[in-house]
Amino acid sequence: MNPLPDGLILVAKRGCPTCTLVEPLAAELAGSGPLTVYVQDDPAYAGGMAGVVDDRSLEHSYRLNIEVVPTLIRVENGREVARTYGWHRDDWRSLSGLDALGEGLPALRPGCGSKTLDPGVAEELALRFGDVRFASREVTLGDEEDAIEACHQRGWTDGLPVVPPTRERVLRMLAGTTRKPDEVLGMAPPDLAPCTVEKVAINAVMAGCKPEYLPIVLAAVEAALVDEFGMHGVLCTTMFAGPVVIVNGPAARAVGMNSGVNALGQGNRANASIGRALQLVIRNVGGGRPGEVDRATLGNPGKLSFCFAEAEDSGWDSLAVERGFGAGASTVTLFAGEGVQGIVDQKSRTPESLAKSFALCLRAVDHPKLAMAGDAVLVVSPEHSRVFIQAGWSKARLLDELTALLTFDADDMLAGAGGIAEGLPAALAGKKVPKFRPGGLLIVRAGGSAGLFSAVIAGWAASGPTGSTPVTREIAL
């Protein structure tokens, strides 16, 4: 765009009542000095007088960063020195130097939104006239190709339809974070391909995310790409595991994540699309596709998406706090988990009884005769947590009690004991063994306020430093 013309610039549109109100003033403004009028919808505005520029392409309005019409700008030596928007008689008189300007008009009228702010237009203008550059290759479809079917045919989906990631949609998604599109978050397994913010944004579009979800998705991806999580192993195991995303803090509430009724189920866009975006990144950036590197014998439905928020409306410390973050922090914890095993206990009214119920159910993780193999997440519902909270038990107290209850005589769990070939090695005979390794049992609070039901999310049987450990990352805007 050429340097700004000196004098006054008026940006208007015929469809704005305030622009129509000030239209007769254009001739008076032009009589006092140079005037350029950019009109967004009707070149006949201001009677087609000299200096009226047809801006239906919105290029001038975009470059002038117009958000409200009418906008009046004063330019000196090619540089803007002042602007006002809407109709404010004193401001217009000050900018124009015309003390009697608009004498018969009301003193004040609000403006209207610029056409540059119409839905979808901002991204289109940025792509046409801005300096937006995508590093990702653009795929051109044939005139008769259906975009959704094309994504299926090219293997970019998880089996369900995805949102075609147009340039406009990706640009809109990138507006959800202040991070640079070319920032590399890590190397995505199994192909160890560089995973950038832009690549994550593309897959977040495909998953159905809103732009405000992107910081949470980015944190989840970062957690998945660190060695401690072991995403490559989670992919190639023949077991059931996939990443489970647990979100804490103000970020979860801001985007409307579900920590209540049906928290582990369907129906919440944020929960479903954030978890799905992570899975699509691993598939489309890292190459982790079922039947190739993903060798799960059965898998589990959570490998489409398994994401929920922890309910933080009780006296219990949140998972984020337990993992070393401040009470106001927003975090993502990634856990290599399997399906949901329900716990039904509608009769326990003491914390001791309910803790024993939990322990008995937790013993079944992987197999009742295995220990220190898979981690687990215990999801405690509000009604069950109330039993502990009213008795003065903190989450830490419950964890200590479960650790004690889940320490067993190895003799009963040895291979062959009880006529079952599965079990612990003979070298552990005569010893006590904990069901879970230290730090291997996480407790979160979630679910609806009615129902004496909790749940176990079993972890991958290769949990721990040589397999997969839970990873928590703070969410950065």
* Residue 264 amino acid letter: L
Instruction: Decide if 235 contacts 198 (C-beta within 8 A).
Output: no
- Among residues 181, 439, 207, the alpha carbon closest in space to that of 304 is found at 207
Q: For 1-85, list the strands marked E by DSSP.
A: 7-12, 35-39, 52-54, 68-69, 71-76, 79-85
- Among residues 9, 101, 115, 108, the alpha carbon closest in space to that of 62 is found at 115
Q: For 55-118, list the strands marked E by DSSP.
A: 68-69, 71-76, 79-85, 87-88, 108-109, 112-113
The helix/strand/coil state of 352 is helix
Q: Averaged in consecutive runs of 10 residues, what is the pLDDT profile of the chain (477 residues)?
A: 87 97 96 95 91 96 97 96 97 96 96 95 94 91 92 95 96 97 97 97 98 98 97 96 97 98 97 98 96 94 97 96 96 97 97 98 96 97 98 97 97 96 96 96 97 97 94 95
DSSP class of residue 244 equals E
The owner of tokens 């949140």 is 318
Q: Supply the angle between the helices 167-174 and 121-129 in degrees, to the nearest 10.
A: 100
* Residue 475 amino acid letter: I
Domain ranges of the chain: 7-129, 149-474
Nearest-angstrom CA–CA distance, 206 and 221:
15
CATH of the domain spanning 7-129, picked from 3.40.30.10, 3.40.50.720, 3.40.50.2300, 3.40.190.10: 3.40.30.10
Instruction: Decide if 449 contacts 260 (C-beta within 8 A).
Output: yes
Nearest-angstrom CA–CA distance, 119 and 125:
11
The helix/strand/coil state of 378 is strand
Residue-averaged pLDDT of the chain: 96
Widest CA span in the chain? 103
Nearest-angstrom CA–CA distance, 336 and 461:
9
